[in-house]
Amino acid sequence: MTTDALEFLRRQDAEHGPFQIEFRVRTEVDWPVTLDYWFGAPAWRDGGHTFDLVGVDATGGLYCLWRYPELGDRAPPVVFLGSEGEGIAVIAGDATSLVEALAQGYWWFASLGRFVRDEENLRQPAFDAFREQAAAFLARPLRSPESIVEAGQAQHPNFAAFVARTLELCASANAGDAGGDGDEEQSNDGEDDEE
């Protein structure tokens, strides 16, 4: 169902253009490098966690699918990484639940750490078509945004705690890289040697 929901979002974006002010469907070729920058080092990759970019908000905050080692065959949750480190959370149990929130005009407001509804989103030319097609795609009654978040967070580990631990790990990795004996030339070109 995750693939179906992502294809639905991409198709809506391609057919109608942006359907929300605060959410844009995005993909990136150099996605892991973007996360290296966000976390401060590539050490985040060491734990078996992967992320798939779903979209961005107007400030550069990232909507991602989080695949963690214990996930197994379950659908990955949608998480949010704020551009300034705010609003970090599991925001939906899967991509279909994100479609459910977006179809009601909600978007993740990072500084408040919750979904909010913006009436201007509802007036976007493409929103009515998106909402109508989302209702057909979902074919179920829509839950409140609070229910979407609560269900997602109940099904998955604490993402904010994972991010805090990972930021500490990356900071330690950077400190270790910078703490050489002085005989080695330091490089700031953003590329790290593979281990």
Residue 30's pLDDT is: 72
How much is the pTM?
Answer: 0.86
What are the domain boundaries of the chain? 2-169
Contact assessment for residue 56 and residue 49, using Cβ atoms and an 8 Å cutoff: no
Residue 143's pLDDT is: 97
Residue 73 and residue 4: Cα distance in Å, rounded?
Answer: 16
Average of per-residue pLDDT values in the chain = 87
**Other beta carbons within 10 Å of 170:** 20
pLDDT tier at 192, thresholds 50, 70, 90? very low
Structure tokens at 35: 């996360």
**Residue 182 clears pLDDT 80, i.e. is over it:** no
Residue 144's pLDDT is: 97
Higher pLDDT, 57 or 153: 153
